[in-house]
């Protein structure tokens, strides 16, 4: 059943009025595949571009985006996040791994905020590095874990 469709088959925001207030957390992940010429610029835990520190800029952009999720996704509730953190690392396959974790105490979850934060951080990495190569691929964005709602979720791989 689609939760954002009312009895008349029209789009609707989910009514969370009767839900319990609980601590809600969510972590989402985006993976960016970088060509070798860009990865050669990786030093000191970051990539330096003509625009500046790539990862630091992506972290700020991702947090800003997560806070604006209700403005970007039409049927999302506007939420005041208690916390949002983004971690960026390089995995064994030489891919940029972006994890965004968002949390708040509320009647609705923060999955979309975490997904938007990770996605915009990935897009910012692309934007900051595109002068070095257009062969950058944002491979995937996915929910990794959520807690505090009707049912918890944890991705096993």
From CA 32, how far away is CA 42, in angstroms rounded?
A: 14
Q: Are 75 and 62 in contact (CB under 8 A)?
A: no
Catalytic residue among 15, 127, 135, 152: 127
Q: Are 10 and 101 in contact (CB under 8 A)?
A: no
Residue 135 catalytic? no
Q: Are 34 and 136 in contact (CB under 8 A)?
A: yes
- Active-site amino acid positions: 127
């Amino acid at each position: 059943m689609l939760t954002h469709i009312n009895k008349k088959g029209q789009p609707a925001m989910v009514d969370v009025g009767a839900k319990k207030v609980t601590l809600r957390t969510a972590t989402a992940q985006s993976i960016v595949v970088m060509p070798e010429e860009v990865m050669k610029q990786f030093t000191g835990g970051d990539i330096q571009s003509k625009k500046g520190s790539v990862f630091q800029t992506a972290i700020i952009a991702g947090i800003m985006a997560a806070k604006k999720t209700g403005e970007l996704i039409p049927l999302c509730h506007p939420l005041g996040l208690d916390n949002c953190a983004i971690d960026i690392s390089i995995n064994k396959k030489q891919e940029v791994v972006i994890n965004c974790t968002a949390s708040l105490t509320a009647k609705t979850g923060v999955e979309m905020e975490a997904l938007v934060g990770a996605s915009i951080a990935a897009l910012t990495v692309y934007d900051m590095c595109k002068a070095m190569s257009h062969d950058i691929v944002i491979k995937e964005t996915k929910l990794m874990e959520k807690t505090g709602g009707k049912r918890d979720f944890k991705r096993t791989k």
